[in-house]
Amino acid sequence: MRQKLTVRLQERSYDIHIGTDLLDQAELLLAHVPRKRVAIVTNTTVAPLYLERLVNTLRSVGISSHEVVLPDGERYKTSKTLDLIYDALLQSRCERSTPLIALGGGVVGDMTGFAAATYLRGVPFIQIPTTLLSQVDSSVGGKTGINHPLGKNMIGAFYQPQLVMADISTLSTLPDKELSAGLAEVIKYGLIRDLQFLEWLEKNMQALLARDSAALQYAIARSCSNKAEIVGIDERESGERALLNLGHTFGHAIESGMGYGVWLHGEAVAAGTLMAADLSCRLGWISSPDVARVRELFKRARLPVVAPDLGSEKYLELMGMDKKVEGGKLRFVLLKQLGHAVVTVDVPLPLLHETLETCVHG
C-alpha cells in the first residue's frame, strides 16, 4: 500500500510518498534523475542497513551514484561535516543537474538539504527519511541547515525537495527511543490543529509503539498532511508555520543547555511541550485536566515529561538566543485549547518563572 500527498507551493510543489518497501521502487525516483546520476548522502548507522539496497534499485534503472557517508549524530551537524559533503561533490564533479539524495534521519536531511541549497547555488534535492521524526516532520517543508556553537539551526536555508519518499519499512530498525522521539512531533500536530487526530493517537498509541504498519502509515500520512497544509499556507514561517514550533522554544533551550545530542530532539520537544502546556494553563487558556491529558499521552509514548533542572536564569538566557526572538520580545507557541495553538508575545514574566520552576520537578 502506498499513499501520495502533495505539498502545494506553486512551482516548488512536490509529492510525498508514504508506504512500505519504497526503497525497492525505482520508478518513483526515475523521473527526477534525467541524467542518470545522483549523489547519496547518508551516515555510518544507516549506510550498512539501507545504502546498498538503494544503490541497487537505482542501478536497476541505469542510475549511477556517488556515496557520501557522514558520522552519525546531532553533534556532527556542523560546518565541518557540511564541508565533507561539498568536498565529495566537487571531487566527483557533481553538476547542477545532479540530485542529492538524503538517506537518513533529520540530521542527514537537514545537512544534505543545505548542501543541495548551496552547492553550485542549488541542485535538485530528494528526501528519503528513515526515522519517524524525519518522516513526519523534518523531511517535509524545506527547512535545511546546520548548528552553530552559539545556537541550533542558526545557519540554513528554505529549500524544498523535489520528492519525499517515506519508507515505513525502514522504521523496523529504529531504536525504541527514536520511535518515541518521533511520536513527540506526531502528537504535536494533534495538539496544535487536529483534535480528532489527538483522540486517534490516544486510542492507537499501543499499536504505534508495537510498530503496526497500518497504524504507522496512518499517523505518518496524517502528520505530513497537517504539515503540508501549514507549509502550503506559509512557506517561510512568517505566520501559521510558527505553530509547528510548539514546545520548541523550551525544547531548544533543553537541547542546547544539555549539550547537543544528549537529549534527542523529540525528547526535548516532549518536555518542552509540557512546559508550554503548563504555561498555557497558568494563562488560564487550558485546564489542569488538559495538561494532565497531554502529560499522560507523552508518558504513554515513553517520552520524558519533566524538563532538566538547568535553573530559570539559564533557561531564559538560552531562550534569549533563540532565533524565534523578534523585536527583543520572546515569542511563545501556546495552547488556547487542545487542538488549537497560537503564537503570543504577551507572557507575564512571573508566570514564565513559575513554569520554569515547576516543570523541572516530576
**By CB under 8 A, what part of segment 322-341 binds a second copy?**
323, 325-327
Among the listed residues 26, 155, 207, 330, the single contact to a second copy using CB under 8 A: 155
Q: Is 8 in the site for a second copy (CB under 8 A)?
A: no
Distances from the Cα of 157 to the Cαs of 122, 160, 189, 236, 276, in angstroms?
11, 9, 23, 10, 27
State which residue, 46 or 63, has the beta carbon closest to a second copy.
63
State which residue, 19 or 257, has the beta carbon closest to a second copy.
257
Q: Is 316 in the site for a second copy (CB under 8 A)?
A: no
Binding flags for a second copy, 9-28, as an x/- string (CB under 8 A): --------------------
Q: Does the annotation count 252 as an active-site position?
A: yes
State which residue, 251 or 308, has the beta carbon closest to a second copy.
251
Give the integer Cα–Cα distance in Å for 177 and 297: 16
Return the amino acid letter for 2: R
User: Residue 292: how many CB atoms within 10 A of its CB?
Assistant: 12
- Catalytic residue chosen out of the listed positions 229, 237, 317, 354: 237
The pair phi, psi for residue 39, each rounded to 5°, is -120, 130
Q: Are the C-beta atoms of 110 and 135 separated by less than 8 Å?
A: no
Return the amino acid letter for 304: P
Residue 115, Cβ density class (10 Å: 0-12 exposed, 13-18 middle, ≥19 buried): buried
Among the listed residues 26, 30, 55, 154, the single contact to a second copy using CB under 8 A: 154
Q: If DSSP states are collapsed to H, E and C, what string results for 177-240?
A: HHHHHHHHHHHHHHHHHCHHHHHHHHHHHHHHHCCCHHHHHHHHHHHHHHHHHHHHHCCCCCCH
Q: Does the annotation count 147 as an active-site position?
A: no
> Could you tell me the smallest distance in angstroms from the CB atom of residue 36 to a second copy?
10
Q: Is 256 in the site for a second copy (CB under 8 A)?
A: no
Question: From the centroid of its chain, how far is CA 292?
Answer: 25
State which residue, 115 or 164, has the beta carbon closest to a second copy.
115
Q: Is 210 in the site for a second copy (CB under 8 A)?
A: no
> Could you tell me the smallest distance in angstroms from the CB atom of residue 139 to a second copy?
16
Judged by the rule CB under 8 A, the positions of this chain that interact with a second copy are 35, 79, 83, 86-87, 90-91, 93, 95-97, 114, 117-122, 143-145, 148, 150-151, 153-158, 236, 320-321, 323, 325-327
